[in-house]
Structure 1
Amino acid sequence: MNGGLVGRPVSRVDGRAKVTGAARYPADDPVPGALHGFLVTSAVARGEVVGIDTSEALAHPGVVAVYTHLDLPRLTVPPFPYCKGFIPLQGTAVHHAGQPVAIVLAATVEQAQEAANLVRVDYRAEPPTASIDDATEPPHMPRPFRDRPNEITRGDAAEALVAAEVRLEVRYSSPTRHHNPIEPHATTAQWDGDRLTVHETAQGVNLTRSVLAVAFGLPPERIRVLAPFLGGGFGAKGPVWSHTILTVAAARLAGRPVRLVLSRAQMFTLTGHRAEFRQHLRIGATRQGKLTALVETTTAQLTRTEESIFNESDSTSTLYDCPNVHIRQEGVPLDIATSSYMRSPETTAHFGLETALDELSWELGVDPVELRRRNHTAVNQETGAMIRGKHLLDCYRIASEAFGWSRRAPRPGATKDGDEYVGWGMATEAHTFAAAPANPPVTASVTVGADGRAVLRIATQDIGTGTYTVISQVAADALGMPLDAVTAVIGDSALPFASVSAGSATIASVTGPVDKAARSARDAVVALAVADQRSPLAGVPADEVVTGHGHLFHVRDRARRDSYRAVLGRHGGPVEATGSLPNAPGHSYGAVFLEVRVHARLGSVRVTRVATAHDMGRVMNRRTARGQVLGGVTWGIGHALMEHTVYDRHTARVVNPNLSTYLVPVCADTPAVESHFVDRPDPGSTALGARGFGETPITGVPAAIGNAVYHATGRRVRDLPITRDKLL
């Protein structure tokens, strides 16, 4: 065998292509004759377009066409994963600032952008509402989204709360936040008769194909979507957005390919965000810290054209042992763009729960880690079934020992170093990973050629998480080949089916099919060898043949060996095999411990030390897994201390739609992170013992930072982000 590539910290197989520029992203693919598109977006947030003058834009050099609601054909509004309740340029109604009202096509992107500034639009404007605090309608509970209820009841939480020995009532809030992947959203659409090819920044090539099929009334098999590389996704590129549909429609009208790349500012109004959020938590407990009641009401921003809650309360429902729970998720409609999933969508609600437990620990005089241990559960709180392979208690032990938690100062504000107060905080981390759809099943194919090399094909995506590398490791191990003998081909809807790279579902859903396909291909080659009189393995029972380093060996006589290349060379052609396996949803867990320093006079907060431990089942690649931890910690720092989309409350326009005023963490903001993994295979996994993990490492970081700030200063900040004005 290969000595086990799976689990090792293998370098990314796509790394060289990315750093040398050989990797082609969707906006890089050359399409002969392509026009460049640019969107004209609404200057008002609520109202109606009453007139558009495109004459000056049409006269601009290089401009080929300007399309408005008067030109586009009537399209069908697709269901999820199209998140907006309408398609722009289908009528005159304006639902939010930045909504497309026209699309300009020109020979160059500069000409298109210049011409877009020349389109004159007249509006009938109405006063918009941009904040939950200004909402003109009371919060209401929308219909279930994707069969997920917005109200969950277990036991009698109201009665248990009244009877509780200790009660805690707290409110938390967080602002709107936006995805800001380094690669902007881009679409290139090319029609060939009634067949459509789309190069798309998509976390799901097959989901994109299904949305376009509905919108344009096409059979899905006539549409091909390609996304071989992505410059980050974070949920923003999971749903399909209106600019994609408009680009495809414009290409059809123009009779030429069209490429459209969103500006950074347009990404703040056209591609989703984490909704503004309010959380009201009431907790009942015994004096020993055992939870007896959890009552949570959350309020999130909705729009007037769709009603979907994306900020989920999974943690409150499932994370701790509590017999009496009542969760109610509400929303209020506002005149801003559609929200959507944003990496670790439960993080907003998780922040409140993990902060409230810290507050309860101080109220009771119980160590925060011990409080969580006392409420640990090995039972699924929603189904009553035992949770197999859960090692959260190990995460508490490993991370706390690595961090040195036992040396924590006993009271807030007790530790000062020069001008800075020093505080320590911790939180549990948890995330639900999704299952791929059962129909069609996720399928991989593996072809071994006469050159002794293997090609793995599956229509999954790599959004920067290391999918190329991990599936190559799995295939190489199953085949018994060197890693560089396997080529993974992904990001193409023409390949065997895979689902969206979201919900931390990718490794959980694709690893099993890849392993099964590779093992089937290996078995087929072994069968050829033992049946071939020219092979040194002729007549050997197939179950006595092992593979490694591109060769086939007799298990007891290593001198009897053949190679993939020799076997298939004699066979005269390649061998191909496929594999399909379902996967079930589940949870990954962890614990994060960190240190902050708060400047006594300036109120500035620095995160200076982090230790984590995670239970993700079997670790497939320690290097890519650690990368997910580093990314999660960095994202959590941004969530807790910086990120905040600001709306003008009078115009409902985004005030900071760029990276100079929408602040995100940089290297100087991110400390060294000590990451540990339990690394025990999940017995229920169909992914070689692995579980979905990518979004887990952000979930506890914001609460841990807030808890550490309290330990440092005695000031409890419940309204994110934790900015200087809240600490001075």
Structure 2
Amino acid sequence: MTELVGRGVERVDGRAKVTGAARYAADNEVANPLHGFLVMSTIARGEVTQIDTGAALAHPGVVQVFTHTTMPRFRTVPGFPYNRTFIPIQDARIHHSGQPVAYVVAETLEQAQEAATLVKIRYRTEKPTARLEDAIDEAFLPDAFRERPNEVEHGDAEAAFAQADVRIQQTYTSPMQHHHPIEPHTTTAVWDDGGLTLYESAQGVMLTRMAVTNAFRDADGNAPDIRIISPYLGGGFGAKGPTYPHTLLTAAVARELGRPVKLVLSRAQMFTSTGHRAEYRHRIRLGATRRGELTALVDTSTAQVTRTDERVFNTSDSALNLYTCPNIHVRQMGVRLDLPTSSYMRSPETTAHFGLETALDELSYELGIDPVELRTRNHRTVIDPNTGEPYEKHLLECYRVAAEAFGWSRRNPEPGATRDGDEYVGWGMATETHTYSANPSQAQIVIGVNGRATVRAATQDIGTGTYTVLTQVAADGLGMPLGHVTTLLGDTAFPNASLSAASATMASVVGPVSDGAEQARKAVIELAVADPRSRLHGVPAENVIVENGHLFARGDRRRRDSYHAVMARHGGEIRVLGSKPNTGGHTFGAVFLEVRIRPRLGSIRVSRVVTAYDLGRVLNRRTAHGQVTGGVTWGIGFALLEQTMVDPNTARVADPSLSGYLVPVNADTPKLEVMFVDRPIGDSEALGARGFGETPGTGVPAAIGNAIYHATGRRLRDVPFTRDKLL
């Protein structure tokens, strides 16, 4: 075999991306396209009373302006994976500011954009509610979403908290935040012979097809043939997982006009059209013995939902699954606000995890126990519900190796006691954890007459390195050089495979690719040993090994053949379909970091980060390291910079641009040391790997806050930790 899996192989799609050969969704050229642009509501609650489209229709190049009186109707409102319970431009009702109220179509993008400014709209307005604090008394317990209840109890947490030797009771908050991938959301819709092709920036082409199929099903239940194509994404972070209104609307107007239509959302439109992380308030009560053993955990969160959609996306999984505690009560509440519908955002548990990991740090100081030791004393051995055996978990080793590399033992625990010149220096740590899914997937392996392989699967590469890892896995399983394998993704014409979300891609698709490669390798060996023209003729198939594209008889390497020769003599292709179901689980890690604070300015700088992770088998060290770099940077943004400001009177995003919404840049990214506990887990069909991508960063916000307390003695509980809060 080639032994490629585990190595830090460079990205196989890197050249295509840096040379511009990679075609992102809006790059696809179609014949005679029209261009669409959305007109968005300027109120947050009420209804449209009048729309004047006369000036827009008279503008040069404008083909049509669709409003709620002229937009084609959808027979049913799709459910998940469509992200709302209503489709805009179907009636006059306004549910949030920035809701689409008209769809302008023109010959050029510039003509559509200019015409959109000419649409005149009158509204009947109602007073909106935009902040949790303005309606916190109306909090309620939403129904279960995707079979996940919003209230879970083990034991009697209230009684245990009241009787605890030591108690911590605090509230932690985080604001609305947005994903902002560099590639905006875009749809190009092409109808041909009754079928629909969508060039879409999508994290899940199969889920997108499901949502669009539901929307276009007729009264008899029939739906058109629909193909979704999304080979490259310029990021997504969860924003491109669900299907949004612009996709359905673009498909509808393209069918109505009989021409392809391309729509690209503006950056400002993405603030209200593609989901966000909801504003969040988290009240935690911890009870413990004097030895630091948790006896009670009461976890009550309140998140923004809407009057039309009551889903809670920011779950308290770590409270339920991370530490040993006999009495736990988790309640995930919602407050209906007049804002856009929220959605999953990278590492959605981070909001709740921030509160838990900060509360544990507060408990450690109350008890006088080192924060690492406190977590170690409450380490939980998990029983896998699928096997009944202890879940393979090496979190304690993550603590140990990261703490040693960081030099944690040299830490002076006294807050405010460590300085370097005019800077306060603080050290903080937190556990990192994330749930990952494993979705039913398949992968096709084709060995061509030239002896080279093609992998096809309807999953996506969201920028995480999926092309590279799947190519490694296939090449390893086939015994081919990496350059002899081509991987094709992001097309519903390929075998069904997982969406790129919930850290599920590797856990779901690696197994099927490995299985397909094994089938294809065995099929080629069978051809060789059965062919009198092959030097391997008559060798038992189990005695043939494959390396670097060549087949050898075990023990006699003079008897050899090659993929190219075997397939050339065969004169046809070999096609196999790999499928290997897997189960989801949890990935764990630890982050230790240092902050430096200049007290006169209130400036905070993360100067050093050390991490360690248990992600099962490391499939590619380079791409895994990249995920950590991205996750840590994301966590710094969560803790220090990112917040979407909403006008409390109008429920309108105050500054819908990247000039006002701050994200980390290179200067904010510190020195980073990354370590992996590289141990394959026995029950993972993904060659022993766990899902990993969203784990790095989950503990970073709490670790930063904990380090700030260690540096200054000041506890900040509301992110982002801006200068005004510290001063």
Q: How much does 1:410 deviate? A: 2.2
2:433 to 422, 430, 439: 430
Matched, 1:310 2:309: no
Q: How much does 1:382 deviate? A: 8.7
CA distance 1:221–1:93, shift in 2 (3 Å): closer
Alpha-carbon distance in structure 1 between the residues aligned to 2:690 and 2:365: 34
Secondary structure, in 3 states, of the residue corresponding to 2:298?
strand
- Structure 1 residues 108-163: Cα deviation after superposition (integer angstroms, max 9, x where no partner): 11111010001001100111111001127610001100000000000111111122
Secondary structure, in 3 states, of the residue corresponding to 1:558?
strand
Matched to 1:524, the amino acid is A
Aligned residue in 2 for 1:295: 298
Matched, 1:552 2:551: yes
Q: How much does 1:385 deviate? A: 4.6
Q: How much does 1:192 deviate? A: 1.1
Q: How much does 1:684 deviate? A: 1.1
Q: How much does 1:617 deviate? A: 0.3
Alpha-carbon distance in structure 1 between the residues aligned to 2:386 and 2:483: 44
* Equivalent residues in 2 for 1:168-179, closer than 5 Å: 168-179=168-179
Aligned residue in 2 for 1:337: 340
- Structure 1 residues 228-285: Cα deviation after superposition (integer angstroms, max 9, x where no partner): 0000010000000011111111111111000000000000000000000001111110
Q: How much does 1:220 deviate? A: 6.4
CA distance 1:409–1:137, shift in 2 (3 Å): closer
Q: How much does 1:419 deviate? A: 2.2
Secondary structure, in 3 states, of the residue corresponding to 2:27?
coil
- Report if the CA contact (8 A) 1:681-1:688 is conserved: yes
Alpha-carbon distance in structure 1 between the residues aligned to 2:589 and 2:88: 42
Aligned residue in 1 for 2:141: 141
Aligned residue in 1 for 2:28: 29
- Report if the CA contact (8 A) 1:318-1:381 is conserved: no
Matched to 2:242, the amino acid is P
Secondary structure, in 3 states, of the residue corresponding to 1:130?
coil
Aligned residue in 2 for 1:647: 646
Aligned residue in 2 for 1:535: 534
Q: How much does 1:296 deviate? A: 0.8
1:226 to 214, 225, 229: 229
* Equivalent residues in 2 for 1:374-389, closer than 5 Å: 374-380=377-383, 385-389=388-392
CA distance 1:382–1:525, shift in 2 (3 Å): closer
2:260 to 257, 260, 278: 257
Matched to 1:127, the amino acid is K
RMSD of equivalent CA atoms? 1.2
More displaced 10-residue stretch of structure 1: 71-80 or 248-257? 71-80
- Report if the CA contact (8 A) 1:203-1:238 is conserved: yes
Q: How many residues align?
A: 723
- Report if the CA contact (8 A) 1:399-1:613 is conserved: yes
Q: How much does 1:77 deviate? A: 1.1
* Equivalent residues in 2 for 1:52-201, closer than 5 Å: 52-75=51-74, 76-135=76-135, 138-201=138-201
Alpha-carbon distance in structure 2 between the residues aligned to 1:16 and 1:725: 45
Sequence identity (%): 65
In structure 2, stretches of 5+ residues that fail to align are none
Alpha-carbon distance in structure 2 between the residues aligned to 1:344 and 1:355: 17
Q: How much does 1:51 deviate? A: 0.5
- Report if the CA contact (8 A) 1:378-1:386 is conserved: no
Alpha-carbon distance in structure 2 between the residues aligned to 1:118 and 1:159: 63
Alpha-carbon distance in structure 1 between the residues aligned to 2:373 and 2:386: 26
- Structure 1 residues 415-460: Cα deviation after superposition (integer angstroms, max 9, x where no partner): 1122211100000000000121xxxx41111001111110001100
- Report if the CA contact (8 A) 2:72-2:253 is conserved: no
Secondary structure, in 3 states, of the residue corresponding to 1:280?
strand
* Equivalent residues in 2 for 1:625-644, closer than 5 Å: 625-644=624-643
Aligned residue in 1 for 2:514: 515
* Equivalent residues in 2 for 1:191-590, closer than 5 Å: 191-217=191-217, 222-380=225-383, 385-436=388-439, 441-590=440-589
Alpha-carbon distance in structure 1 between the residues aligned to 2:273 and 2:383: 38
Alpha-carbon distance in structure 2 between the residues aligned to 1:519 and 1:384: 26
Q: How much does 1:591 deviate? A: 0.1
Alpha-carbon distance in structure 2 between the residues aligned to 1:388 and 1:355: 26
Alpha-carbon distance in structure 2 between the residues aligned to 1:253 and 1:137: 46
Aligned residue in 2 for 1:686: 685
User: What's the TM-score once normalised by structure 1's chain length?
Assistant: 0.98
- Report if the CA contact (8 A) 2:216-2:223 is conserved: no
CA distance 1:677–1:151, shift in 2 (3 Å): same
- Structure 1 residues 314-335: Cα deviation after superposition (integer angstroms, max 9, x where no partner): 0000000111100000000000
- Structure 1 residues 41-69: Cα deviation after superposition (integer angstroms, max 9, x where no partner): 00000000001011101111111111111
CA distance 1:130–1:390, shift in 2 (3 Å): same
- Report if the CA contact (8 A) 2:99-2:272 is conserved: yes
- Report if the CA contact (8 A) 2:194-2:224 is conserved: no
In structure 1, stretches of 5+ residues that fail to align are none
More displaced 10-residue stretch of structure 1: 86-95 or 415-424? 415-424
Secondary structure, in 3 states, of the residue corresponding to 1:315?
helix
- Report if the CA contact (8 A) 1:388-1:683 is conserved: no
- Report if the CA contact (8 A) 1:317-1:382 is conserved: no
Matched to 2:228, the amino acid is V
- Report if the CA contact (8 A) 1:209-1:220 is conserved: no
Alpha-carbon distance in structure 2 between the residues aligned to 1:481 and 1:356: 51
